[in-house]
Amino acid sequence: MTNLNLCPIGEGFPEMEVVTTHGRMKLPQDFKGKWFVLFSHPADFTPVCTTEFVAFQKRIDEFKKLNCEIIGLSIDQVFSHIKWTEWIEEKLGVEITFPIIADDMGRVAERLGMVHPGKGTNTVRAVFIVDDKGAVRIIFYYPQELGRNIDEILRAVEGMQTSDNNGVAIPAGWPNNELIQDRVIVPPAQDVETAKKRSQEYECYDWWLCHKKL
């Protein structure tokens, strides 16, 4: 069975040279100083994957506002990627502007733990969110049968950047959390003295659950 944890969260994204629809690229170097989302799909010319590509492209400007690029991958040859994206533009009116890795030998998918156990050479619907320093920050895995929620991936990028920039934690469903709406969570106190001051400095349910407005 394929190990789906070959590129752990917190470690640097492995250096590799890949063939894409935009030519050869070096990862993560070619995205230096930017965040990027690398996502794999089971195969070209498949229905769920087509809906995902359209959804990613529809939100490309929102990702770019977060200094984040998109790059796709499947175990297909580059001409298949090109023909498929031409079909998407011709039939659906959406031009795919982000690069797609042609991993026809499956080496990248194997290295990143993307090959779906029991599904031949098909890749799982994996998502790697990599920060501007080249570190893997989030990994999502979905089965072939379930298309991804691209808004959640966008939210995850924004949430991690908000956490990094402000030293805070992000609540469930942020920025529409049921308890604290768009507020963020203050890290819990690490000593008794700080814990005593928490309720004076922030709004709190208790000293270990305090929140604030950014």
| Angle between the N-to-C axes of helices 47-58 and 150-166, in degrees from 0 to 180, rounded to the nearest 10 | 40
Contact 96, 89 (CB under 8 A): yes
Q: Identify residue 69 by its one-letter amino acid code.
A: E
Catalytic choice (7, 49, 68, 210): 49
The reply to whether omega before 117 is within 30° of 0 (cis) is: no
6 secondary structure, DSSP code: S
Going by C-beta distance under 8 Å and a sequence separation of 6 or more, which residues neighbour residue 24?
Answer: 17, 18
The reply to whether omega before 28 is within 30° of 0 (cis) is: yes
Tokens of 190: 């690490």
What's the rounded Cα separation, in Å, for the pair 146 and 49?
Answer: 10
- Is 68 annotated as catalytic? no
- The distance of Cα 98 from the centroid of its chain, to the nearest Å, equals 14
13 secondary structure, DSSP code: P
Going by C-beta distance under 8 Å and a sequence separation of 6 or more, which residues neighbour residue 157?
Answer: 35, 37, 63, 66, 68, 129
157: number of Cβ within 10 Å: 22
Q: Cite the active site residues.
A: 49
